[in-house]
Amino acid sequence: MRSERAVLVVVVISLGIKLALLIPAHSIYPVRDAWDYFRTAQALDETGRYVTNRPPLYPGFLVGARRLAALGGEGALSSLGGFFAPPESHPVRAPSDMDMARFLQVLLSTLTLVLVFLLGRELFDARSGVAAAALFAFYPCFVGYTVLFWAETQFILLNTAWAVLLFRGIRLDSWRLLALSGVVLGLAALTRQTMLTFLPLLLVWMVMVGGRPLSASVRRAAMVLAAALLTIAPWTLRNAGAYDAFVPISPHTGLALIYGASENPLAEVKKSGATPFMGHLERDQLLKARALDLIRADPAAYARRVLTKNSTMIWAPGSLVLEHLVNESYGFPKLPTWAGRALLVLIVVSYVLLVVAALIGGALAPAWPTTLLFVAMTAHASGMHAIATGFHRHRLYVTAFAVIYAGFLLSRNSSELRALLSLRRGIIAAIAIAMFALVIAFGDHSQLIAQWEAL
């Protein structure tokens, strides 16, 4: 009971901070991908047309926010930040919808905090769960993304939820929990389709380390696979009618490949012949063909880019939260220089410390199979975004699992740590930290430096 009370205190404090952040966040404008999400939600709600090639679940969430706002629930939320209301000329004139969406994301993030506690308790013990929940609650990037219109808050919730259901389902040998895990995993893929390519790794892990007899592990993996595919299937059938082709979730790989293959992706988009007025599938095929031409033209240069830039970009310190603070066109009230720079230092330092703690915690964790799944997830994210480039936000769902291992480490006392430490575990931790240090040393920090100077 003491751990539940501690988590309740963390929930209340965290919720208070995020609700307070809604006031200045009222003025943040949706830009780039965020604008596309909102544009898609408006079109879907008003005309029934799906006007983007992105996965459907986050636009669907925004449609729900619009409809709740239309019921009159937005009044109090809008009045919170009326002083910061966007200008009439803003292309997406729906401040009440935005306020409702932000408010709902605060609730989603708070639910994720509880799930982080449950996952930490499931994998280790209640102390680990409480420590992980506290780290999640106050980690600056998790807090910041609750008021930004990107899919990360929803994606992190779904990934944490399927993990809780999966580990509990395996422990209790519950087919119902395993099926629910597959359903939630399918919903995560409908938020970001990279989870579809992670599914085979998860299934291999379940078969290899899921216990004996082997036939039971295979049946568990088959249950998760079937539930995930059945969840995705209705959207795949919709795509078959829309594109007259087999598109499991989204025709959105070409642009990602171009970003991974070129220093000037926008110029390459123009050279591809793709235009915004084309059909989504035709545009994606042209972009994909252009990306493959770039790779084939100079494979050595592409390999260097993958190793020296793409691979480090996703794990280098930094955050899109900082970009919203620096770029005044995004609408966030300008911070004093000292406050902006202090926040930048907080974001960078907290990230580095969290990763180091997670790496040590992973090396010392007593049950290696769960750590192996975390390693597989990290390797998958690294590989996917090395090929097709990645941004800081693409690591956040992995970071949510990192807090579990950091929480395990920070909740151990000195005698427990000494009992866990061995030469082999120490070497593993040292190698992992050295690899992370190389990422920081050779990563591109020009954007971070520019943000420091702009603040």
pLDDT category of residue 332 using cuts at 50, 70 and 90? confident
* Average of per-residue pLDDT values in the chain: 88
Give Rg (Cα) of the chain.
Answer: 22
- Give me 455's structure tokens: 């603040």
Residue 447's pLDDT is: 83
User: Measured between alpha carbons, how far is 58 from 309 in angstroms, rounded to an integer?
Assistant: 29
Residue 23's pLDDT is: 84
Give the mean model confidence (pLDDT) for residues 282-303: 90
Give the mean model confidence (pLDDT) for residues 282-289: 90
Residue range 80-95, pLDDT digits in tens: 333 334 444 444 444 5
Judged against a pLDDT cut of 80, whether residue 208 lies above it is answered with yes
Listed range (3-7, 57-61, 65-69) with the worst mean pLDDT: 65-69
- Give me 267's structure tokens: 């110029």
pLDDT category of residue 264 using cuts at 50, 70 and 90? confident
Give the mean model confidence (pLDDT) for residues 345-349: 94
Residue 361's pLDDT is: 96
Residue 367's pLDDT is: 85
Q: CA separation (Å) from 402 to 7, 187, 211, 375, 409?
A: 18, 22, 24, 10, 11
Residue range 404-418, pLDDT digits in tens: 999 999 999 999 999
User: Measured between alpha carbons, how far is 233 from 435 in angstroms, rounded to an integer?
Assistant: 39
Other Cβ atoms less than 10 A from the Cβ of 438: the count is 11
Residue 25's pLDDT is: 81
The HSE-up count of residue 259 (CA atoms within 13 Å, CB side) is 15
Residue scoring higher pLDDT (265 or 232): 232
Judged against a pLDDT cut of 80, whether residue 238 lies above it is answered with yes
Residue 121's pLDDT is: 96
Judged against a pLDDT cut of 50, whether residue 174 lies above it is answered with yes
Residue 14's pLDDT is: 95
Residue scoring higher pLDDT (173 or 95): 173
Report long-range pairs for 379-382 (Cβ below 8 Å, ≥24 apart).
380/194, 380/197, 380/198, 380/201, 381/194, 381/314, 382/311, 382/314, 382/315
Residue 78's pLDDT is: 43
Residue 71's pLDDT is: 78
User: Measured between alpha carbons, how far is 147 from 19 in angstroms, rounded to an integer?
Assistant: 10
Helix runs in 173-243, H state only = 175-189, 194-209, 214-243
Say what the pTM is.
0.92
pLDDT category of residue 451 using cuts at 50, 70 and 90? confident
Residue 265's pLDDT is: 86
Judged against a pLDDT cut of 90, whether residue 12 lies above it is answered with yes
Residue scoring higher pLDDT (445 or 222): 222
Judged against a pLDDT cut of 80, whether residue 309 lies above it is answered with yes
Give the mean model confidence (pLDDT) for residues 128-152: 94
Percentage of residues of the chain with pLDDT beyond 90: 53
| DSSP assignments along 288-338, one per residue | HHHHHHHHHH-HHHHHHHIIIIIHHHTTSS--HHHHHHH-GGG-PPPPPHH
Give the mean model confidence (pLDDT) for residues 178-188: 97
Residue 254's pLDDT is: 87
Residue 95's pLDDT is: 53
User: Measured between alpha carbons, how far is 375 from 369 in angstroms, rounded to an integer?
Assistant: 10
Percentage of residues of the chain with pLDDT beyond 70: 93
Is 404 in contact with 123 (CB distance < 8 Å)? yes
Judged against a pLDDT cut of 80, whether residue 272 lies above it is answered with yes
pLDDT category of residue 96 using cuts at 50, 70 and 90? low
